[in-house]
Amino acid sequence: MSKEITLTDANFKSEVLESKVPVLVDFWASWCGPCRMVGPIVEEIADEYDGKARVGKVNTEENATITGEYGIISIPTLIFFKDGKPVDQIIGAVPKEAIKKKLDALLK
């Protein structure tokens, strides 16, 4: 079972902005081909970083408020949060190592 969190407009503040550990947020949509490529990688990262960082997914079609707040216009967009603030991001499909490198930097 994946450790991934389903993020919504309603729980984003408590799950991401108030998190005591870094959070990786994957903004995606079901019709997005590159999102389907990145999805399994994000799930693996959620399991690997369990206890060190949190990983969540925002369905952009169902959560327009939070999608708009962060200016998401291309998906997948991965935003890295630390201390409740966005500190880095990746747009598009990238290899797992590229995502892990950015997440590891937040854990130092």
Amino acid making up residue 108: K
Q: Which two tokens stand for residue 94?
A: 């990238």
The question of whether 35 is a catalytic residue gets the answer: yes
User: How far apart are alpha carbons 80 and 107 in whole angstroms?
Assistant: 11
Contact 82, 102 (CB under 8 A): no
Of 35, 46, 58, 72, which one is the catalytic site residue?
35
Of 32, 46, 99, 106, which one is the catalytic site residue?
32
The question of whether 19 is a catalytic residue gets the answer: no
Active site residues: 32, 35
